[in-house]
Amino acid sequence: MKPLTRAPLVDPFGRKISYLRISVTDRCDFRCVYCMSEDMKFLPRKELLTLEELDRIASAFVARGTRKLRLTGGEPLVRRDIMSLFRSLSRHLTSGALDELTLTTNGSLLHRYADEMAGYGVRRINVSIDTLDPDKFREITRRGDLNVVLAGVEAARKAGMRVKINAVALKGVNDDEIEHLMLWSHGLGMDLTLIEVMPMGEIEVGRVDQYLPLSVVRGRLMDKYTLVDDPYRTGGPARYVRVKETGGLVGFITPLTHNFCESCNRVRLTCTGTLYMCLGQEDAADLRAPVRASQDDTLLFRAMDEAIARKPKGHDFIIDRRHSGPAVGRHMSVTGG
């Protein structure tokens, strides 16, 4: 049965929803210190949407004007049979309904899947690497092997995918390495995006002790390099500068020092079918129930319309000595990185 409407999804502030981030699992083979607690309790597998249900919801968003899909986690590549979802969603690239199918990954399994993903039309990916020091990498991730991740990056590049490196700026941890990360990334033709730590979920370390304002990082880079504002956009919240001396781009994702909400075109779907209209707000919509209640998309479209009508203007992230706890209770791995 054909859906009743295919009108674009537009929020109360006139922002067209063109970007859906899908957390296909809350599980991860790392336990990064800014993202998860050491002893994480993951969702029971029976609560997760099937890959077919994830495809159906993603396709409903594509029908309503979404042009970009990003698969995230947790770590998306640990989800069993995840390549079947890439294969299925690639039909929207073939039809022209979708501009981009991509993912954010920690890179641990990238060497295994890079060629196959490239074959399904994945042209660009983000890989999270916060340090190039193997021992420090193990400390930050609590279990990751930097050499395996770097091998995955190389496999992705050989497969023809454009790789962007994501790094969370952590005070007293990697603040002395950001220049090195930039030079390494740009030397291999990869852009670098820096991210401020976000107050999501309870972890062992205080957020205020981790928080490094990117305004400080940018100032330090400007002492040695020429940074020129660049109009390049990927559809996400990063704002870019081109480094004249290297020719590469550095992106800044600054939810705390500079709120990026005014042009937000994104919503996030969790692996249980919960739709978060804002990363930093608790309001959410259940899309699993309408998917399972009917074989056609009438109820699903109605739930999507009601959800987008509640999309807030922005988040309320704050990190200081008075607001050192999480702004929202869920961990980033639940919502999708």
pLDDT (0 to 100) of residue 335? 59
How far, in Å, CA of 98 to CA of 100, rounded? 6
Give 34-52 as a DSSP string. Answer: TT--TT--PPPGGGSPPHH
Contact 307, 289 (CB under 8 A): no
> Can you tell me the distance from the alpha carbon of 317 to that of 156, in angstroms, rounded to the nearest whole number?
34
The answer to whether the beta carbons of residues 243 and 186 sit under 8 Å apart is: yes
Two tokens at 234?
């990927």
Q: How far apart are CA 258 and CA 201, in angstroms?
A: 21
**Partner residues linked to 200 by β-bridges:** 328
Residue at token pair 């590549």: 77
pLDDT in tens, the chain (337 residues): 444 447 999 999 999 999 999 999 999 999 988 888 888 888 898 889 999 999 999 999 999 999 999 999 999 999 999 999 999 999 999 999 999 999 999 999 999 999 999 999 999 999 999 999 999 999 999 999 999 999 999 999 999 999 999 999 999 999 999 999 999 999 999 999 999 886 544 444 545 567 888 999 999 999 999 999 999 988 778 899 999 999 999 999 986 555 556 678 899 999 999 999 987 677 899 999 999 999 999 999 999 999 999 998 865 544 444 444 444 454 455 555 5
| Bridging pattern class, strands 124-128 and 100-105 | parallel
The pLDDT value recorded for residue 336 is: 57
For residue 154, give the H/E element and its range.
helix 146-158
Distance (Å, whole) CA 203 – CA 50? 29
CA distances from 79 to 45, 75, 98, 295 (A): 10, 8, 23, 25
- Is this structure's pTM higher than 0.85? yes
Q: In whole angstroms, what is the distance from residue 108 CA to residue 77 CA?
A: 9
Q: What DSSP state is assigned to residue 7?
A: P
